[in-house]
Amino acid sequence: MGMLSAFANPHRFLALSHWLAPLFYVVGAALIAWGLWQGLWVVPKDDYQGGDIMRVMFIHVPAAWLAMASYSAMAAASFIWFIWRHELADIAAKAIAPLGAVWTVLCLATGSIWGKPTWGTWWQWDDARMMSVLFLFFLFLGYMALRAAMDSRQKAARAGAILAMVGALNVPLIKFSVDMFTSLHQDASVITADGPKMAAVYLWPLMMSGLGHSLLFGALVMTLMRAEIWTRRAARQRARLLAGA
Amino acid sequence: MSPKPILSAFRQALGESWAGGAGALLPLGFFAGAAVLVPLGIGTEPGMLRAVGPGILWVSLALSSLVTLERIFQADVEDGALDLWLQAGAPVSAIAAAKTFAHWLTAGLPLALMSPVLALMFQAQAGIGLLTGALIYGIGGLAFFFWGGVGAALSATVRRGGLLIALIALPLYVPTAIFGSMAMRGAALGDTAPLLLAASTLFALAAAPFAMAAALRLAAD
């Protein structure tokens, strides 16, 4: 709890993110650029995965990681806000939602682009992972729509937190139910019980690209959070000025 | 805590949804209307109708639950009943569950009971399977109403919250829709799919009332 409270201080957050966000932007962009350069020009193509089109993996897989990680992060932030009422946690949840939705769409779009030449279809209804990511997207949309419909910041925070927690409770069930469909998607091949089974030549660019996307995501979240904090301060300042005048 | 506020809320919700919507006729009419639009839209070939029929009934059931739930908690927010419950320290989660259950009784159960008729119109085989099907639709409908109730409680203060309820609730309907349509394909009650359907409904019954209570406390502020 001590550490959580330390992070909950907006002043400390502003001071920290002042240099951390630019750092994340630069390192994230560099890693993504390196991963793309490796992926598009250096690594050999894999004919079992559709030839050159498999190079979309270096965006698709990081996007899938982030789609799942961002919903978990949003639910965790909502939980922290709901229990301890740290304002920063709500600001974080609010900032994560639109970004998570964007990476979810990125995952779906690159998946479709990969799927068309390899499986012969843009969309496969009985693929469990496509369905899971699609429902994740709807969970993000519902969260944003609910927040937008509330008439005060406090109510938006509470309603959003309740919905994010209900969603997080349901995610395992949704995942389990769509898994019961048969799947033509290739099985998980980066993280398995006996270590990664992907060739190292693909693994390194993929890991770096994943790290780069995560850093970029983190930087964007921090930027949105900073904007929200400054917006709130400006509103308070305006109210104070009006009251004084 | 005495069960009195729970019982009176249950009775009132029963009366409201029965009297306010021409008894069970309105939801039944909506359910049947939504279902019979499908053959007009996709064609009348018997083999195809038999294949899609159970799924169409699931979709119609989900839509009917969303339509009937829109105002379930709004009236309580507007007429102050919610404030009274909170002041009296009444168990809001139990009241919300009782109200949702009452709505399922008047608007969900009749649809399940009517499903054999619609299933016959969709060329299903007559027989005991139709009654099993009605039971499965009844169990699945209960989960629809409880998750839909969470959406309704969250948007109780939102004007024209119907679309919002749908967007919030539809991802939560996924397990029920999947297990339900798998159960209809198997159609023997001891199989895995009906048991999973029942389990996910029990999960909804256990979890949704607390989410509804948290949302209603928010609506009262």
Q: Could you give the number of structural domains in chain B?
A: 1
**Widest CA span of chain B, in angstroms?**
59
Q: What token pair was written down for B145?
A: 């109403």
For residue A46, the SS3 value is strand
A174 contacts in B (CB within 8 Å)? Answer: 171, 174-175
Centre a 10 Å sphere on the Cβ of residue B134 and count the other Cβ atoms it contains. Answer: 19
Say how far apart CA B105 and CA B101 lie, in whole Å.
6
Are B207 and A163 inside 8 Å of each other by CB?
no
Q: What are the angstrom distances between the C-alpha of B102 and each of B16, B17, B18, B201?
A: 10, 8, 10, 16
Say how far apart CA A36 and CA A241 lie, in whole Å.
50
According to DSSP, residue B177 is labeled H
B174 contacts in A (CB within 8 Å)? Answer: 135, 174, 177-178
pLDDT in tens, A67-111: 889 999 999 999 999 998 888 999 999 999 999 999 999 999 988
Are A177 and B157 inside 8 Å of each other by CB?
no
B211 contacts in A (CB within 8 Å)? Answer: 162, 165-166
pLDDT digits (tens), chain B, 221 positions: 456 778 888 887 777 767 665 566 777 888 888 888 888 888 878 888 888 888 888 888 998 888 888 778 888 888 888 888 888 888 889 989 999 998 898 888 888 988 888 888 887 777 777 888 899 999 999 999 999 999 999 998 887 788 889 899 989 998 898 888 888 876 555 678 888 899 999 999 999 999 999 999 988 88
Say how far apart CA B50 and CA B54 lie, in whole Å.
8
The nearest alpha carbon in chain B to A160 belongs to B154
pLDDT in tens, A200-245: 778 888 889 999 999 999 999 999 999 999 998 999 899 999 988 6
- pLDDT classification of A185: cutoffs 50, 70, 90: very low
Q: What token pair was written down for A3?
A: 């550490």
pLDDT at A71: 93
Are A173 and B157 inside 8 Å of each other by CB?
no
The nearest alpha carbon in chain A to B160 belongs to A149
Say how far apart CA B200 and CA B203 lie, in whole Å.
5
pLDDT at A28: 94
Are B155 and A149 inside 8 Å of each other by CB?
yes
Interval A142-166 mean pLDDT: 92
pLDDT at A142: 93
Residue B194: CA atoms inside 13 Å, Cβ hemisphere, count?
16
Say how far apart CA B204 and CA B147 lie, in whole Å.
7
Q: What token pair was written down for A28?
A: 């994230």
Q: What token pair was written down for B39?
A: 């053959």
pLDDT in tens, A17-68: 999 999 999 999 999 999 888 888 887 777 666 677 778 888 888 888 898 8
Q: What are the angstrom distances between the C-alpha of A97 and each of A46, A81, A102, A219, B177?
A: 35, 15, 9, 14, 26
Say how far apart CA A198 and CA A221 lie, in whole Å.
31
Whether the pLDDT of residue A191 is over 80: the answer is no
Interchain CB contacts (distance < 8 Å): A and B: 73
Nearest to A77 by CA among A108, A100, A103, A106: A100
Decide: A7 and A23 in contact? Cβ < 8 Å: no
| H-type alpha helices, chain B | 4-19, 25-42, 46-69, 74-78, 81-87, 92-103, 109-121, 128-154, 162-186, 192-220
Domain that holds residue B171: 4-220
Question: Where are the strands (E) in A92-138, listed by range?
Answer: none
Decide: B185 and B55 in contact? Cβ < 8 Å: no
pLDDT at A184: 39
Q: What angle do CA B57, B59, B62 make, to 5 degrees?
A: 110
A135 contacts in B (CB within 8 Å)? Answer: 171, 174
Q: What are the angstrom distances between the C-alpha of B6 and each of A31, B26, B158?
A: 59, 26, 25
What's the sign of the alpha-carbon dihedral A208, A212, A217, A221?
positive
Chain A nearest-CA distance from B50, in A, is 20
Q: What token pair was written down for A103?
A: 């990476």
> Within its chain, how far is the Cα of A202 from the centroid?
23
Interval A185-198 mean pLDDT: 55
Q: What angle do CA B167, B176, B188 make, to 5 degrees?
A: 160
Nearest to B115 by CA among B190, B10, B187: B187
In angstroms, how far is the first alpha carbon of chain B from the final one? 23
Of B150, B157, B170, the CB nearest to A166: B150
Q: Is the CB of residue A203 less than 8 Å away from at least one CB of chain B?
A: no
pLDDT at A33: 92
